[in-house]
Amino acid sequence: MLQEEIVLVDRDDNEIGIAEKLETHRRGDLHRAFSVLIWDSAGRLLLQRRQIGKYHSGGLWTNSCCGHPRPGERSGDAALRRLGEEMGFACALAPIGTFLYRAELDDGLVEHELVHLFRGTYDGPIAPNPEECDGFNWLAPDAIRREIAAAPETFTIWFRKYVEAGWPLSPPLEVA
């Protein structure tokens, strides 16, 4: 996974190049990413605990799924692909906007991402890939806010930034 290439972009999401993923995170180059927010019919958000051995942010709680589109891959297609690879299921995803952030990580790495956010609704079985995910939990928005307030260091920086900005904490208007 570390040898994969990702898409470098400008602040308007125009592609400006392709680079190796780990080197991009070492340099802090702005790149395209996606995040998936899955809700259940009870209005709870699916959180995953990143696999402890991930090259950054291992063992931290985060949104349902995230990653980087491959060169030539649309963000929505990448989001659906990774949802299956990480969490073992598929559902319809709808785009809900973009989010730009820069954050210093552990081990001298930098996340500088223009993130395409997607949401979906799902109530079926979940079969997380143990190489990607060390666990999952469904939490209501108020519980997420309380958990982050009590122990922010147990959540990924990007998920905390989403919550601070108010992005993920409202279930879809129409719940299937």
Report whether 25 belongs to an annotated binding site: yes
Closest CA to 72 of 12, 11, 4, 134: 4
Report whether 56 belongs to an annotated binding site: no
Here the CATH number for the domain that contains residue 68 is 3.90.79.10
Report whether 73 belongs to an annotated binding site: no
Per-position pLDDT tens, the chain of length 176: 457 899 999 999 999 999 999 899 999 999 999 999 999 999 999 999 999 988 888 899 999 999 999 999 999 999 999 999 999 999 999 999 999 999 988 778 999 999 999 999 999 999 999 999 999 999 999 999 999 999 999 999 999 998 888 766 665 544 33
Q: Give a yes or no: residue 67 inside a domain.
A: yes
Report whether 111 belongs to an annotated binding site: yes
Q: Which residues are catalytic?
A: 66, 113
57 touches 133 (CB < 8 A) = no
Give the pLDDT confidence score for residue 172 in this predicted structure.
Answer: 55
Report whether 5 belongs to an annotated binding site: no
- Measured CA to CA, the distance from residue 81 to residue 143 in angstroms comes to 29
Give the pLDDT confidence score for residue 23 in this predicted structure.
Answer: 92
Q: Give a yes or no: residue 140 inside a domain.
A: yes
Q: Give a yes or no: residue 79 inside a domain.
A: yes
Q: Which domain holds residue 70?
A: 5-165
Query: What would the two tokens of residue 79 be?
Result: 């989001």
Q: Give a yes or no: residue 97 inside a domain.
A: yes
Helices 141-150 and 157-165: crossing angle in degrees, nearest 10, is 120
Give the pLDDT confidence score for residue 55 in this predicted structure.
Answer: 80
Q: Give a yes or no: residue 18 inside a domain.
A: yes
Number of compact structural domains in the chain? 1
Q: Give a yes or no: residue 171 inside a domain.
A: no
Q: Give a yes or no: residue 173 inside a domain.
A: no
Give the pLDDT confidence score for residue 108 in this predicted structure.
Answer: 86
Q: Give a yes or no: residue 172 inside a domain.
A: no
What predicted TM-score, i.e. pTM, was given to this entire model?
Answer: 0.90
